[in-house]
Structure formats: structure tokens, C-alpha cells
Structure 1
């Protein structure tokens, strides 16, 4: 198997689009298609199912993907070792979530963009189970998690910080107990988000009937709360600016659970140098943010 074919296969498998892969690799789309066909011919099996305008990995493609990534990583390390290159290089596919991408990670992304330009970062926004599954399958190299639990089967993880949560609304309300919360409209992001699911679990310990007005993003949830539509539980870092300016107020209720921001990778995975650098810098940055 030629390394260039594996590089093309890995990119197509990651973005699940021949067109997008061609753009990111600076190839003509016909070149990407011919390289995938050449790889399939050499292996004697199809790696992608073509479903109209969409593609997905076949079972053989799923099995090949983690090996392709390992070979690409080893080739990049070997090249750096032979040439004596000191500058980190390589690609990283990182699973993350809105609350981290928008509010914690910009300084880290800026650092890598300016100081380590040969490290190619690709962020994929998923949450919870989707991120863990992508890490186990090798689709992601690293993944940020914001969870109560710190042990995840098939994964190694490092806790970067305890993530404070804040119950917020557009005005002061008397909500000193969990039961008090049920007297007000409840706002939330989509199910599957750890703090929303834990919040719902806590509310259901008081009442079996719990309903949320759901919003697709944290920004939309914040705006709804500021407009007086109800109360919302969100990571403190996402509402810090609104609390400071007074468009949101923090209510006197503390959640009886703790979330921890973590960085995870597949158990047994040999992290290449540029991935270890990312972990190190993420650890340092989030520690400095407090």
C-alpha cells in the first residue's frame, strides 16, 4: 500500500466527502477518486459505500482506518527524525463541543496556528457518546469530554479542570431548592449534553414530569434566558460575560453534581509527538484559565 493512497483514504474517511477531501488535500476530485479506486484494487475490497450523493465506510474501511492513521503518524515521525526537524508536524482530528470551542479553546487554537503551523488541526463538534465512540474507532485522535465520570471503557483520559456550572435567568428568582426550579420554565440545550442530562436527572428526583424548552446552541439558550423566557443551567465560562454585564443573573442554587473537563484518547494508542504537545498545551491553558 502506498502511503499517499493511505493519506487520501484517511482524509476521505474523516470528512466523508470526496469533494471536501480534494479541497483539503489540494487535489482535483478526479485524483482523489482514482487514488481511492487504486487502493481498493490493491486490497481487493471496497472501502466506501456510495449512496447517491453520500458515502460511508464499509466494514473493511472501518478496519483499515486506524491502521492507516498509525502508518501516517509513523511516517511523519520517521521523516522528522531523519531530517532532524525540530518543528512539530502532523495532523490531529479533535472532538470537541460548543462550550469549549467557543469559550476555552480559542487561545489554544491561536497558539498552534502561530507557533506550530505545521500541526494541522481539524475540530469535530460532537458530544458525549459520539465523541467516545469516535475515539474508540480511531476516527478522532483526541477528544474533549465534559462529564461527571472520569473512567471511560476503551479510553484513557486526563482531567483538565472541574467545570463550574451556573443556574442563570434574566432576573432574580427565589430558587433555593430543586423543587423551586420546577415552578419556572426550564431552558436547555439538546439532550446528550452532560450538564443538561444531569440537570434533568436531578429534577426528576423531585418530579417525574419535567419539560424543557430546547434550543440548539448555548448562545440561543443564553438569549432566551436573558429575555425572561426561563432559567438555564450552563457552564459558568459560557455565561461569564453576561453575568459581568448584568444581562443574566446567577441564581442561588448549586447543582449536586460535578462536571470535569477531560481530554481523552483510545486506550493503547501511541500518541505521536504533536499529539502529546497538544495535550500538554491544553493542560497548561485550561489550568491558567482557572
Structure 2
């Protein structure tokens, strides 16, 4: 039995379209149709019901899908374990959020270059919300995001956890010692992008503190470079992981505030489509786990 035909069957079943599967496999719709027809002939059963608009699995196709996925995955695992990594080729689209870029992304890219010299990386830096959508839409292969991303056929691997701190410039005229949320009302708070986990966490601690939300200005930005520049200039207070501002803490340009409102940690995941044949994103995700653990 032809493994490529099994992989084609899996993609048609997942995407419910011969034409979309053809695009995914970089072939023609006629070739996909021929592969499925041959597979059905070899098995002696119909795998799909077809009409002008829809493609759906027959009962035989439904029973076959899980086994076909397992076979394709085992073959790819075998190739990954035994094969020469330097033979891996292609382009991997990686989406990462700013926090990962600041923490350890350069080390990951160096590791990938060493292990897979013939693999090209396309990098997209964006918010976790946007990257989650792009992963589900198949626009990027691997996301390094605040997760997890809960969706069908999406795999999440835990990477690391960053403690979130209140950060400000020594220039701000805040009272010494321990601070309450009410002590911060004179300055805007920068809390990542609107709708993000840190942004929601700030809203919750303000509500828990009993402070009128309208009394505190919350500014949003998806650029940590912008946020760190503004708070270094004394524009406001930020909610950030230590790793993002470590160099500015060491130089004294920024300091950690002792605020009595604790913020939940940020949990990061490597996220990719759990598809047969999706070898490189899984390999790079494993590398990311090792690098994040050593950070």
C-alpha cells in the first residue's frame, strides 16, 4: 500500500475537500482524486461520499482514519529517529510573541540552524491571540505563545512559566515601601495587548482591590520594545516578566515595584497542528522545550 495515498486520505478527511487537500500537498486535484480512487480500489471499500459541495467520510472511512493517521505518524517518527537530520529540507513558519523573542528565541534559531542546515525559518512576531488564529488556519507551522490553544487537531507542549512583575522607572514619584493598587492611579499601566492574559489579569486585580477601573488608565501595546522604552522614560508602570527587562533592572534604569496585588504567572506553550507528516514543527518544539528549561 502506498504511504503517500494514506497521507492523502488523511488530509482529504481532515480538510473535507479534494481541492484544499491538493493545495496542502502541493499537487493537483486530479492527482488527489486518483490516489483516493486507487486506495479505495485496493481496500475494496468507499472511503468518501462525494457531491457537488461536500466530501464526507463513509462508515468505512471513519473507521480507517485513526489507523491511517497512526501509520503515517509512525512512519514519520521512524524517519525522524533514524534518518539523517541534515537531509531535512523546507521552510518552517514560526510565530512567536515578544516575550519569547527577548527570552530565548535567538538560541532556538541557532539550534535549528545547526541541526537542520537546509531548513529555512520564516519568523512572524505577533500577539498570542493572532498567532493562535494563524496556527488554526494553517498560516504558520509552529507558535511559541501564551497558551494553550484549545482547538481540534492542535497540540500544545508546555515550555516555561514567567513570573509577571510590576515594573517602573526610579524616576516615578511613588511612595517608598509596599504599594497598593490605589497608589498607582497617577500613572498609566501598560499591560500587553488588549484581551491578552496579562491585560485580563490587571483588570482582575484592579477589580479585586476595589478600585474604580475608570480611575486607572490601562494602555495597551503588542510591542515590548515600545513598552520598555516608555516606562524607562517614566511615562507609566508596566506588567512584565523579569526576563524582558533584566538588563534594565541591572543598570538601574528600571526597578521592580512591591505591589500587594500579585499577578498570575504567564504560561508559554509550543503549539502546532497535530497532523501526520508535520515533522519539523514537532522537532523544533522539542528543541524549544529544552532551551526554555535551561533558560
Matched residue, 1:228: 234
- TM-score by structure 1 length? 0.64
- TM-score by structure 2 length? 0.63
On the 8 A contact 2:272/2:282 being kept in 1, the answer is: no
Q: How many pairs align?
A: 221
Q: d(CA) in 1 for partners of 2:113 and 2:189?
A: 39
Matched residue, 1:101: 101
The alpha carbon displacement at 1:161 in A equals: 1.0
Matched residue, 1:144: 144
1:89-168 aligned at under 5 Å gives the runs: 89=88, 90-147=90-147, 150=148, 152-154=150-152, 155-168=154-167
On the 8 A contact 1:263/1:279 being kept in 2, the answer is: yes
On the 8 A contact 2:201/2:263 being kept in 1, the answer is: no
1:248 matched to 2:281? The reply is: no
1:207 matched to 2:198? The reply is: no
Q: d(CA) in 2 for partners of 1:274 and 1:216?
A: 28
Bigger Rg, which one:
2
Q: d(CA) in 2 for partners of 1:115 and 1:42?
A: 34
Q: d(CA) in 2 for partners of 1:255 and 1:235?
A: 13
Q: d(CA) in 2 for partners of 1:151 and 1:122?
A: 21
With 253-262 and 204-213 compared, the bigger mean Cα shift is at 204-213
Q: d(CA) in 2 for partners of 1:144 and 1:127?
A: 10
Matched residue, 2:282: 276
On the 8 A contact 2:87/2:118 being kept in 1, the answer is: yes
The alpha carbon displacement at 1:87 in A equals: 1.8
Matched residue, 1:197: 200
Q: d(CA) in 1 for partners of 2:222 and 2:188?
A: 17
Q: d(CA) in 1 for partners of 2:229 and 2:243?
A: 15
| Secondary structure of 2:213's aligned partner | coil
| Secondary structure of 1:87's aligned partner | helix
Q: Structure 1 residues 241 and 122, CA, compared in 2 at 3 Å: closer, same or farther?
A: same
1:239 matched to 2:245? The reply is: yes
The alpha carbon displacement at 1:128 in A equals: 2.6
Unpaired runs of 5+ residues, structure 1, are 1-35, 44-59, 61-69
Q: d(CA) in 2 for partners of 1:192 and 1:123?
A: 23
| Secondary structure of 1:184's aligned partner | coil
Q: d(CA) in 1 for partners of 2:85 and 2:30?
A: 38
Matched residue, 2:86: 87
Q: d(CA) in 2 for partners of 1:138 and 1:161?
A: 24
With 198-207 and 218-227 compared, the bigger mean Cα shift is at 198-207
1:259 matched to 2:266? The reply is: yes
The alpha carbon displacement at 1:97 in A equals: 1.2
Q: Structure 1 residues 248 and 282, CA, compared in 2 at 3 Å: closer, same or farther?
A: same
Q: Structure 1 residues 128 and 217, CA, compared in 2 at 3 Å: closer, same or farther?
A: closer
Q: Structure 1 residues 93 and 236, CA, compared in 2 at 3 Å: closer, same or farther?
A: same
Matched residue, 1:14: none
